[in-house]
Amino acid sequence: MNNAVVILSSDIVLSSILQRLIAGRQVICYKEEQPALDFIYHSLPRLLVVQIQDEQSRSVGIINDLKSDPVFGQIPIIAIVPDDLVISSWDRLLADDYLRRSAVERETALRVSLCLSRADRIVEISPLTRLPGNITISRQIQQRLDAGQTFALAYADLDYFKPFNDKYGFSRGDEVIKMVGRLILNLVREQQPQGSFVGHVGGDDFVFIVECDAVEATSTSILSYYSQIVPTFYDAEDRERGSIVSVDREGKQRSFPLMTLSIGIAHNRMRKFVHYGELVEIASDMKKHAKGKKGNAFSIDRRALVKKGDF
Amino acid sequence: MIDKNIRTIRAEIERIDTLPTIPTILKKLLGVIENPKASLTTIGNFVSNDPVLTSRVLRMVNSPVYGFPGRISSVNQSLILLGLNVVRGLLLGVSVFEAMQKAMLGLWEHSLGAAIAARVIAKRKKMNEPEEVSIAALLHDMGKVALSLKFPAEYEKLLSDVEARSLLIYEGEKELFEITHADAGAWVAKRWNFPPNLVEIIEYHHKPHLSKNYPMQTAVVHLADALIRARGFGFAGDMLVPHLNQAAWYSLDLKEQDLKDIMLELEDLLQEAAEFILSDE
């Protein structure tokens, strides 16, 4: 991801006005569509400001093509339109915002910053849990590492989710995922209202970030509420038996226990980390360790410091 | 008889979005949620003493918005899944009854008493989910709240008729509406996506032998209702104690000594409950 703002306009006067108004950012101006696209495809800029003459302009086609691609669709686009242009429907112009030509001088700076901050806020959200996904998760971890914060990263997932899904169908599986997401979010916020974070990696995997001192209490309360609530997602007879009959990965029928939750916890209290991936890997190892324990469990990284004096 | 058919009555009852509580509870509620230090646990303890607040919370958590309708029947679990901000906002929207204040206060005491009695019985019977049964008992008369909300004048007259003619309240309801508060309560509970056990217990708390899927839980609420009336705690709308259903009584398999123990255990708890509702702070 590049931090540049790309301006696409054949009007040199407009381009230079825009360049002046979007001060403090790297701004790259293009007069023609093709080189602009080349740059966008290769460097994924933060924002695109495109001038269009009417709904038939070639630049409208470019905006719509970018917006319908999952990778480039995330780039916010502001369309600059003539004062007298009638926009009949936003279905044919997939911009995120627009400015009339006469409002450029007055509004550009604020519109650009609003567009960028909105894009930061909504990034990618899991449609199921409405929690932020992997890009935000990585960014959240990396930002904390870069800022030198000490924190704990917890990685949670469900055991025996697949047989549950196979037996009851994916819509009931989705219900469980939504419940778990909601549960983790609220218990994390209850323990630490400020500065905490919850994300949904995908499937039945979640992460949360809290201060080191809060992570054990948070995990304990998540596991405790989880174990009370999850049986209500089973049919009465399975709930009473405490197990379900479903098929394993080899396609054989066997009995599975009720789903449990395992949480692996990594932290940078005793070791230094530079890259978010290192911390995620340890959390993931710890989660495997927690899965080895019976029932709902968490495991926390207690490996000694790499070098002395890191406390 | 009221000049409406059952379908119209049902449609009106199902249109209810929110039930009003009683003024004493509202006053205390504001104290609880406006306290910035209030945690979900303190709010939860408060909410689970009030049938209307409980129904409001259950309705929200079981709504399709959250994506797992009909699953949650515990107040504490609901609050955790909703989150503090949603809970505060939700509870701030509660309104109060203007009419029938004395009768309503009695009904609140009766509901809370039944919830306590149901929990004591369920624990003695070593049932899996004493909290669930207790919530069902707390809500068992929510149909009375619904009927008096939709038909206030008729219901007030019904209460005095029932007293003058020594009827049971559901007999009076049957005459007037052709349905009872048990039907009305179940309609609301179903409409609000409450878990199936709550719906069934509310529907059959006067006819526990008809409960197909939750006969034991329904029998416990049936017995709790009768015990609290017999004890003279609160006011369920009539002065009589209905006959205990024979089938339910036998299925519970309690001895006379069990009953005495239950009543004894209830005394202190009911004392506390009365203080909770009546104390003025």
Q: Does B66 touch chain A (CB under 8 A)?
A: yes
Residue whose pair of structure tokens reads 């003025």 in the numeric block: B280
Which residues in chain B have their CB less than 8 angstroms from residue A174's CB? 67
Residue B53 above 70 pLDDT? yes
Indicate which CATH number applies to the domain containing B112.
1.10.3210.10
Q: How far is CA A84 from the centre of its chain?
A: 39
B152 falls within a domain: yes
Cβ distance of A190 and B84 shorter than 8 Å: yes
Nearest to A257 by CA among A248, A268, A269, A266: A248
Confidence at residue B279, expressed as pLDDT on a 0 to 100 scale = 74
What tens digit of pLDDT does each residue of A183-206 get? 999 999 999 999 999 999 999 999
Tell which of B37, B71, B92 closes a domain: B92
What tens digit of pLDDT does each residue of B184-209 get? 999 999 999 999 999 999 999 999 99
- Region B115-121 average pLDDT: 96
Residue B281 above 80 pLDDT? no
Tell which of B40, B70, B92 closes a domain: B92
Find out whether A222 and B74 touch, Cβ atoms under 8 Å. no
Give the closest-approach CA distance of A197 to chain B in angstroms: 15
Structure-derived torsion over alpha carbons of residues A26, A31, A37, A40, reported in degrees to the nearest 10: 0
Record the tokens describing residue B102, joined without a space: 């004395």
Residue A11 above 80 pLDDT? yes
B191 in the same domain as B240: yes
Structural domain spans, chain A:
5-120, 134-300
Cβ distance of B71 and A175 shorter than 8 Å: yes
Which residues in chain B have their CB less than 8 angstroms from residue A233's CB? 68, 71
Residue A310 above 50 pLDDT? no
B108 in the same domain as B139: yes
B147 in the same domain as B74: no
CATH top class, domain A134-300? alpha beta
Q: Does B41 touch chain A (CB under 8 A)?
A: no
- Say which amino acid occupies B51: P
Range of lowest pLDDT (A80-84, A304-308, B76-80): A304-308
Confidence at residue A306, expressed as pLDDT on a 0 to 100 scale = 46
Find out whether A51 and A9 touch, Cβ atoms under 8 Å. yes
Nearest chain B residue to A227 by CA distance is: B77
Record the tokens describing residue A117, joined without a space: 């901050």
Helix (H, G, I), strand (E, B) or coil at B188: helix
B196 in the same domain as B219: yes
Residue B270 above 80 pLDDT? yes
Residue B75 above 90 pLDDT? yes
B111 in the same domain as B84: no
What tens digit of pLDDT does each residue of A207-217 get? 999 999 999 99
Helix B142-150, helix B6-14: angle, nearest 10: 100
Give CA–CA dist A180/A157, Å, rounded: 9
Range of lowest pLDDT (B19-23, B116-120, B277-281): B277-281
Record the tokens describing residue B117, joined without a space: 């009695």
Q: Does B271 touch chain A (CB under 8 A)?
A: no
Residue A308 above 50 pLDDT? no
- Region B83-91 average pLDDT: 86
Give CA–CA dist B51/B17, Å, rounded: 15
Confidence at residue A307, expressed as pLDDT on a 0 to 100 scale = 42
What tens digit of pLDDT does each residue of A127-151 get? 899 899 998 899 999 999 999 999 9
Cβ distance of A190 and B40 shorter than 8 Å: yes
- B112 confidence band (pLDDT: 50, 70, 90): very high
Cβ distance of A233 and B68 shorter than 8 Å: yes
B5 falls within a domain: no
DSSP letter for each residue of B191-251: HTT--HHHHHHHHHTT-GGG-SS-HHHHHHHHHHHHHHHHHT-S--SSS--PPPPHHHHHH
B1 falls within a domain: no
CATH of domain A5-120: 3.40.50.2300
Cβ distance of A225 and B213 shorter than 8 Å: no
B262 in the same domain as B143: yes
CB pairs under 8 A between A and B: 47
Sequence-ordered alpha helix ranges (H) in A147-275: 161-168, 170-191, 212-229, 236-241
Nearest to A45 by CA among A16, A22, A20, A75: A75
Confidence at residue B237, expressed as pLDDT on a 0 to 100 scale = 87
Residue A309 above 60 pLDDT? no
ipTM of the complex: 0.85
B86 in the same domain as B190: no
How many percent of chain B have pLDDT more than 90? 72
Q: Does A185 touch chain B (CB under 8 A)?
A: yes
Window 107-146 of B, Cβ < 8 Å to A: none
Q: Does B80 touch chain A (CB under 8 A)?
A: yes
Give the closest-approach CA distance of A149 to chain B in angstroms: 27
Q: Does B44 touch chain A (CB under 8 A)?
A: no
What tens digit of pLDDT does each residue of A20-79 get? 999 888 999 999 988 898 888 888 899 999 999 988 888 998 899 888 887 788 899 999
Nearest to B77 among A178, A185, A228 (CB): A228
Nearest chain A residue to B213 by CA distance is: A236
Nearest to B77 among A225, A233, A236 (CB): A225
User: For residue A253, which phi and psi values (nearest 5 degrees)?
Assistant: -70, 130
pTM of the model: 0.82
Q: Does B67 touch chain A (CB under 8 A)?
A: yes
Which DSSP symbol is given to A249? T
Other C-beta atoms closer than 10 Å to the C-beta of B35 total: 11
Give the closest-approach CA distance of A232 to chain B in angstroms: 6
Q: Does A179 touch chain B (CB under 8 A)?
A: yes
The contacts found for A170-173 with CB under 8 angstroms, 24 or more apart, are: A172/A233
B249 falls within a domain: yes
B231 in the same domain as B210: yes
Confidence at residue B122, expressed as pLDDT on a 0 to 100 scale = 96
Nearest to B71 among A128, A190, A233 (CB): A233
B4 falls within a domain: no
Give CA–CA dist B140/B180, Å, rounded: 12
B8 falls within a domain: no
Q: Does B250 touch chain A (CB under 8 A)?
A: no
Nearest chain A residue to B75 by CA distance is: A229
Q: Does A217 touch chain B (CB under 8 A)?
A: no
How many percent of chain A have pLDDT more than 90? 72
Find out whether A187 and A228 touch, Cβ atoms under 8 Å. no
Tell which of B40, B72, B92 closes a domain: B92
Q: Distance from first CA to last CA of chain A, Å, rounded? A: 34
Give the closest-approach CA distance of A181 to chain B in angstroms: 9
- The domain total for chain B is 2
Helix (H, G, I), strand (E, B) or coil at A6: strand
Give CA–CA dist B127/B12, Å, rounded: 36
Give the closest-approach CA distance of A176 to chain B in angstroms: 8
Give CA–CA dist B13/B7, Å, rounded: 10
Residue whose pair of structure tokens reads 């309708």 in the numeric block: B69
B266 in the same domain as B162: yes
Window 99-128 of A, Cβ < 8 Å to B: 128
Which DSSP symbol is given to A267? E
Helix (H, G, I), strand (E, B) or coil at A254: strand
Record the tokens describing residue B251, joined without a space: 């299925």
B246 in the same domain as B121: yes
Range of the domain at B128: 101-278
Cβ distance of B82 and A189 shorter than 8 Å: no
What tens digit of pLDDT does each residue of A98-110 get? 999 999 999 999 9
What tens digit of pLDDT does each residue of B29-51 get? 888 888 888 888 899 999 999 99
